[in-house]
Chain A
Amino acid sequence: MANRWLGFVTLLVFTFLLGPLVIMLVSSFGEAGVLQFPPENWSLKWYANIFQGSMFMTAFQTSILVSFAGNMLALLVGLPAAYAMSRFQFKGKAFLQTLFISPVLIPGIVLGFALLRYIIVTFQIPVYTALFIGHTIIMLPFIVRVISSNLDNFDFSIEEAAVSLGASRVGAFFRIVLPNIKSGIIAGVLIAFLESFNNVDISVFMTGPGVSTLPIQMLTYVENYFDPTIAALSVLLMALTAVLMFVIERLVGISYFTKK
Chain B
Amino acid sequence: MSHVSLQNVAVAYQKTNILENFNLDIPEGELVSLLGPSGCGKTTTLRLVAGFLQSHQGSIQVGGKDYTTVPVNKRNFGFVFQNYALFPHMSIFDNIAFGLRQRKVSKKDTYTKVMEMLELVGLQHFENRFPKELSGGQKQRVAIARALVINPDLLLFDEPLSNLDANLRVSMRSEIRRIQQESGIAAIYVSHDQEECFSISDRVAIMNKGVIEQLDHPAAIYHRPRTSFVASFIGFKNFLRFDRRSENGQKPIFYKGDSTFAVSYEKDTGSMTGVIRPDDIRIKPAGPPVTENELSGTIITAIFLGRSYQYEVKTEHGSFTANQEMTIPFQSGDSVVLDMPPHKWVLVEESEVPSYAG
CA distance A245 to B230 in the complex (A): 61
Contact flags (1/0) for B76-90 with A, using CB distance below 8 Å?
A: 111101110111110
Most buried by B among A155, A158, A164, A166: A164
Asked whether, in the complex, the Cβ of A166 is within 8 Å of the Cβ of B87, the reply is no
Contact flags (1/0) for B189-216 with A, using CB distance below 8 Å?
A: 0000000000000000000000000000
CA distance A179 to B89 in the complex (A): 7
Could you say which of A165, A179, A180 contacts B102, with CB atoms under 8 Å apart?
A: A165
Asked whether, in the complex, the Cβ of B87 is within 8 Å of the Cβ of A161, the reply is yes
CA distance A179 to B99 in the complex (A): 18
Residues of B within 8 A of A152 (CB): none
| A162 on the B face (CB < 8 A) | yes
A contact residues, range: 10 to 19
Residues of A within 8 A of B51 (CB): 164
CA distance A168 to B78 in the complex (A): 16
| B52 on the A face (CB < 8 A) | yes
Asked whether, in the complex, the Cβ of A180 is within 8 Å of the Cβ of B79, the reply is no
Asked whether, in the complex, the Cβ of A180 is within 8 Å of the Cβ of B81, the reply is no
CA distance A180 to B131 in the complex (A): 13
Given contacts A160-B52, A161-B79, contact A168 B73 (CB under 8 A): yes
Q: How many CB-defined contacts (below 8 Å) exist between A and B?
A: 65
Asked whether, in the complex, the Cβ of B73 is within 8 Å of the Cβ of A163, the reply is yes
CA distance A165 to B86 in the complex (A): 12
Q: Which residue of B lies closest to A166 (CB)?
A: B102
* B58 → A minimal CB distance (Å): 22
Asked whether, in the complex, the Cβ of A162 is within 8 Å of the Cβ of B87, the reply is yes
Most buried by A among B51, B82, B98, B131: B98
Asked whether, in the complex, the Cβ of B99 is within 8 Å of the Cβ of A165, the reply is yes
Residues of B within 8 A of A260 (CB): 88, 131-132
* A16 → B minimal CB distance (Å): 42
Asked whether, in the complex, the Cβ of A155 is within 8 Å of the Cβ of B102, the reply is no
Which parts of A185-211 form the interface with B (CB within 8 Å)? none
| A50 on the B face (CB < 8 A) | no
CA distance A157 to B88 in the complex (A): 12
| Chain B residues bordering chain A, tally (CB within 8 A) | 29
Residues of A within 8 A of B89 (CB): 179-180, 259
Residues of A within 8 A of B81 (CB): 157, 160-161
Contact flags (1/0) for A225-254 with B, using CB distance below 8 Å?
A: 000000000000000000000000000000
Residues of A within 8 A of B85 (CB): 155, 157-158, 160-161
| A176 on the B face (CB < 8 A) | yes
Residues of A within 8 A of B4 (CB): none
Asked whether, in the complex, the Cβ of A164 is within 8 Å of the Cβ of B78, the reply is yes
Which parts of B140-161 form the interface with A (CB within 8 Å)? 143, 146-147, 150
Residues of A within 8 A of B74 (CB): 166
| A69 on the B face (CB < 8 A) | no
| B176 on the A face (CB < 8 A) | no
| B72 on the A face (CB < 8 A) | yes
| A167 on the B face (CB < 8 A) | yes
Asked whether, in the complex, the Cβ of A155 is within 8 Å of the Cβ of B99, the reply is no
Asked whether, in the complex, the Cβ of A165 is within 8 Å of the Cβ of B146, the reply is yes
| B50 on the A face (CB < 8 A) | yes
| B103 on the A face (CB < 8 A) | yes
Q: Which residue of B lies closest to A161 (CB)?
A: B85
Asked whether, in the complex, the Cβ of A163 is within 8 Å of the Cβ of B72, the reply is yes
Given contacts A160-B52, A260-B132, contact A165 B150 (CB under 8 A): yes
Asked whether, in the complex, the Cβ of A166 is within 8 Å of the Cβ of B73, the reply is yes
CA distance A164 to B98 in the complex (A): 11
* B97 → A minimal CB distance (Å): 10
Q: List 27 A-B contacts (CB under 8 A).
A: A155-B83, A157-B81, A157-B82, A158-B87, A160-B81, A161-B85, A161-B87, A161-B146, A162-B87, A162-B98, A164-B51, A164-B72, A164-B77, A164-B147, A165-B73, A165-B98, A165-B102, A165-B146, A166-B73, A166-B74, A166-B76, A166-B99, A166-B102, A166-B103, A167-B73, A259-B132, A260-B132
A-to-B contact residues, CB < 8 Å: 155, 157-158, 160-169, 171, 176, 179-180, 259-260
